[in-house]
């Protein structure tokens, strides 16, 4: 019985010859790495007030709601207090304070079904390559959907009610965090 020419060629390639190949061929390495969700810091629990350290809202204090499946933290300002909407934040870019907001179970249950895909922006279709070139410098206008607005109002109603019960907490969340020249952050207790 004759073997197919392709099978013979495959066998010849599989054999290790007397000499090394003239060119180095890269061999893909097997990766058995399954990334897991980031472990939540012990200082961060539901209702903890966090200080954002990076991004457009840096320096603002926010209330932690829950951890997303991706490991990111879901936080809110509340929006009416300091302009931070319900958004995801990496825990590497927050400072956890000892201040806690109690009684926000309604807000947590409102966002309990949210997935990371909820926060992804939809890709906008481009008419042509020429139009894409002409629009390269322009920042596209972002419209916020009614469902996102309704979620924000639902969450803020609960969080605002809980914040109002504690004297001075609304002012604390409204104030920005900053360091002056004489401040030593490693000696601070938050």
List pLDDT tens digits, range 70-94: 899 999 989 999 999 999 999 999 9
State the residue for tokens 């924000």.
152
Res 86: pLDDT:
94
CA distance 91 to 79: 20
CA distance 128 to 157: 44
CA distance 162 to 96: 19
Res 144: pLDDT:
81
Res 136: pLDDT:
77
List pLDDT tens digits, range 18-43: 776 677 778 888 888 887 888 999 99
Res 133: pLDDT:
79
The pair of three-digit structure tokens given for residue 137, joined into one six-digit string: 């410098």
State the residue for tokens 């042509």.
128
Q: Which residues does the chain have with pLDDT short of 50? A: none
The pair of three-digit structure tokens given for residue 103, joined into one six-digit string: 């009684």
């Amino acid at each position: 019985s004759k073997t197919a020419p392709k099978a013979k060629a495959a066998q010849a390639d599989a054999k290790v010859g007397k000499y090394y190949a003239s060119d180095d061929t890269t061999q893909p390495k097997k990766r058995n790495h399954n990334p897991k969700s980031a472990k939540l810091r012990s200082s961060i629990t539901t209702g903890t007030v966090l200080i954002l350290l990076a991004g457009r809202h840096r320096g603002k204090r926010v209330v932690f709601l829950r951890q997303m499946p991706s490991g990111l933290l879901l936080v809110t300002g509340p929006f009416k207090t300091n302009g931070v909407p319900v958004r995801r934040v990496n825990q590497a870019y927050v400072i956890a304070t000892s201040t806690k907001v109690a009684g926000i179970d309604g807000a947590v249950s409102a966002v309990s079904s949210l997935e990371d895909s909820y926060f992804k922006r939809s890709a906008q279709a481009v008419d042509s390559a020429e139009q894409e070139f002409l629009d390269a410098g322009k920042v596209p206008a972002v419209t916020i959907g009614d469902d996102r607005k309704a979620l924000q109002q639902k969450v803020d109603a609960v969080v605002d009610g809980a914040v109002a019960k504690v004297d001075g907490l609304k002012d604390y969340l409204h104030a920005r965090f900053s360091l002056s020249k004489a401040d030593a952050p490693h000696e601070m207790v938050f």
